[in-house]
Structure 1
Amino acid sequence: MDQENPPGLDLARLRAHLDAERPGLVTGPLRARLIEGGRSNLTYVVGDGENRWVLRRPPLGHVLPTAHDMGREHTVISALGPTPVPVPPTVLLCTDESVLGAPFYVMDYIEGTPYRRRDQLEALGCERTRLIAEAMIDTLSELHAVDYASVGLAGFGRPEGYLERQVRRWGRQLDASRSRDIPGIDTLRERLSARLPTSQEPAIVHGDYRLDNLLIGADDRVAAVLDWEMSTLGDPLTDIALLVAYTEGEALGDEISSVATAPGFPPVRDLITRYTATSGRDISAMAWYLGFAFFKLAVILEGIHFRHSQGKTVGEGFDRIGASVAPLVARGNAVLEED
């Protein structure tokens, strides 16, 4: 249900800012609702009775360094607008924290469904589920094929030494969110550091690519790729590996994902095969990338668990997030031992 002021959003201040920066954009009183299901940045649908937009801002509480960069999301979405990668048109970026208490950006509202649960896909049937999964993979390949320099993103990241920095970064994020003992997580961190592979040719990396970060249109194609907060330039295999980690949701807990258990959803090996065929990437070191994906996902969820334990987050299901962390760590160690 739309509200006058959902948590974290002052509509009077927002309206004043939009009127100043984009005169004539808003034509009526604003209403908004928080989109449930997000586990990191807060996302709202804002409307004036005729038009709708989406606003993104950081969470209300504990914010990890570099983890909720609104400018980063706005930059990459704006740059990808002219490419084959479907993204919402951007409206504006606001870095003045006096407006809403945090940086935020606004983009156009795109019709589509972010599929996250088995039952959502089950209702579509096997064939449509397969087509959606294949569209998800093909869109990822399109992203990794974008010439990032030609769209103005040459300075968007530092591809050299990307994997080493990623292991260090997520290790620091872990340290910043430590509130309990997690068996095996330090062992996994050490193994990843000791076995770094040679990086792939760099590409735009989404950083959190999964089905529920996509909007699927009525034609079962990807209408928009969302949630770019962790995007950068780096090794594209980190994206496909994280997607694989997400699709193991049945074994790791439905709080991560359960779409891979839907009838018609391709098995992991088929997803990787399709990505290899459409991208031309070498996946011989995939075991390391998978180990890192489980580590990264464990750290992300531990950060969410930490914010929830402090009472500084908004939404349903946060009380169950923490239980998924240990299985992720165990899976990460197992995949490295199997290699």
Structure 2
Amino acid sequence: MIGELVRPAELGRLLAAATGEPRWRELSASLISGGKSNLTFELTSPAGALVLRRPPTGDLPSGAHDMGREVAVQRALAPTAVPVARIVLWHPEPEPLGVPFYVMEKVAGHVIRGELPPSYADTPAQRVAMSDALVDVLVGLHALDPVAVGLGDLGRPAGFMARQVDRWGKRGRAPSITALGAALAERIPQSPPPSVIHGDLRLDNCITDPDDPGRIAAVLDWELATVGDPLTDLGLLLFYWREPGEPQSDLVPTVTALPGFPGREHLVERYATRSGRDPGDIAFYRAFAHLKFAVIAEGIAARVASGAMAGQDFGALDGEAVRIAEAGLDLLRKG
């Protein structure tokens, strides 16, 4: 299957031409597990290692899995303090893989999901430093002027939250997801000034420095990036952040419930202090994150069932989508 998705001979020729390195013609590929929207592969050859990003197979919703958006954002952020991987090849034409795709440098470091690497971030101080570094990357991204970095046309900030709630609410199938969308639509807050937002920032969408847990080496997966309400990024980060005793997500396992990691309140306080921005109705933004991820979980379940995820399986996702939506409703009631 990987050969059909990557087509090593054709891709190798393109990379050899793009890099001036003929050894890329001897290319091999392996799937990097964990990608639940676009597919990610490590490419290796005698010339070194790179990373390929491409959409899944099958029919794709209009506007989704936009490779060009990821490329545009990573190129725009390359000169800034926000760490991103360098784009090596952008191929917007559908051939030879049948879809647009891009190749980027492989950044050294750790992608941390359900467990920490051995002897890495094994003290409370290092775990707090890792958490703070993640928040600080978010603060740095939100501090950028979208126009100054060339991303002024990336989104439509006017009416952003109303459109987002309407869009995601309509995409859900389960009654609890529809109910959460309706509840959010009734209490949309006044948004702060717009900024470039990632749209899915969490620990495993970053690469941490191999030697320093307190440094983010690169931020990945810019598919949902736009210009809009920065507090949506904070709400999503809090959604992914598990605290001790809370259930793990089958889709996004994380280490943050381990001893030594700070809780969500610490993240909110650091974001507010470093950004100078009032977190406002943070319960709304956390509940919106629940809506968004519940819809995403339904979409991943459909793609897995259709065989579009290169054989990856993420468990019983329909039930998880309902649980997530119901937890979002509970947040709104308590908030």
* Category of TM-score, reference length = shorter chain: over 0.9
Deviations 1:212-234 (A, max 9, x none): 00000121110000000000000
Residue in structure 2 matched with residue 248 of structure 1 by the alignment: 242
How has the CA–CA distance of structure 1 residues 121 and 335 changed in structure 2, closer, same or farther, with 3 Å as cutoff? farther
Q: 2:226 aligns with which of 222, 227, 232?
A: 232
Within-5 A mapping of 1:129-278: 129-174=127-172, 178=173, 182-217=174-209, 218-220=211-213, 221-248=215-242, 250-251=246-247, 253-278=249-274
* TM-score normalised by L of structure 2: 0.92
8 A Cα contact 1:86 1:223, kept in partner? yes
2:284 is aligned with what amino acid? W
State the match for 1:46 in structure 2.
Answer: 43
- Taking the aligned partners of 1:10 and 1:43, their CA distance within structure 2 comes to 14
Q: Distance in 2 between matches of 1:129 and 1:120?
A: 13
Render the CA deviation track for 1:273-321: whole Å, top value 9, x for unaligned: 1111111111121111111010001111110011112232224442333
Q: Return the offset for 1:27.
A: 4.6
Equivalent residue, structure 1, for 2:125: 127
Identify the match of residue 82 of structure 2 among 80, 85, 100: 85
Contact kept, 8 Å, 2:196 with 2:225, in 1: the verdict is: yes
- 5 Å-filtered alignment, 1:298-313, equals 298-313=294-309
**Kept in 1: contact 2:250–2:315 (CA 8 A):** no
Identity of aligned residues (%): 40
Deviation at 1:183, TM superposition (A): 4.3
- 2:3 is aligned with 1:9: no
Task: Using the TM superposition, give the Cα deviation of residue 325 of structure 1 relative to its aligned residue in structure 2, in angstroms.
Answer: 1.1
Deviations 1:21-78 (A, max 9, x none): 4443655511111101111100111122232111100011342322200000000000
User: Aligned partners of 2:157, 2:39: CA distance in 1, in Å?
Assistant: 29
State the TM-score, normalized to the length of structure 1.
0.91
Kindly tell me the number of residue pairs found equivalent between the two proteins.
330
CA-to-aligned-CA distance 1:100-136 (integer Å, 9 cap, x gap): 1111011111011111114558863222222111111
- Contact 2:170–2:178 under 8 Å retained in 1: no
Whole-angstrom distance in 1 between the partners of 2:257 and 2:115: 6
Q: Secondary structure at the match of 1:265?
A: coil
The answer for unaligned runs of 5 or more in structure 1 is none
SS of match in other structure, 2:253: coil
C-alpha deviation, 1:207, in angstroms:
0.3
- Letter matched to residue 90 of structure 1: I
Relative to structure 1, the CA distance from residue 28 to residue 117 in structure 2 (aligned partners, 3 Å threshold; closer, same or farther) is same
**Secondary structure class of the residue paired with 1:224:** strand
8 A Cα contact 1:29 1:49, kept in partner:
yes
- Tell me, in whole angstroms, the C-alpha distance in 1 between the residues paired with 2:273 and 2:119: 27
Which of 93, 101, 105 aligns to 1:104? It is 101
Tell me how far apart the structure 2 counterparts of residues 155 and 26 of structure 1 sit (CA, whole Å): 38
Q: Which string of whole-angstrom CA distances, capped at 9 and with x for unpartnered residues, describes residues 202-260 of structure 1? A: 11100000000000012111000000000000000000100101113733534323322
**What secondary structure does 1:295 align onto?**
helix
Residues of 1 paired with 2:46 and 2:301: CA distance? 36
CA distance in 1, matches of 2:109, 2:4: 24
| Structure 1 counterpart of 2:326, one-letter code | A
Change beyond 3 A, Cα 1:146–1:317: same
What secondary structure does 2:5 align onto?
Answer: coil
Matched with 2:282 is 286
2:322 to 304, 319, 326: 326
Provide the alpha-carbon RMSD of the alignment. 2.0
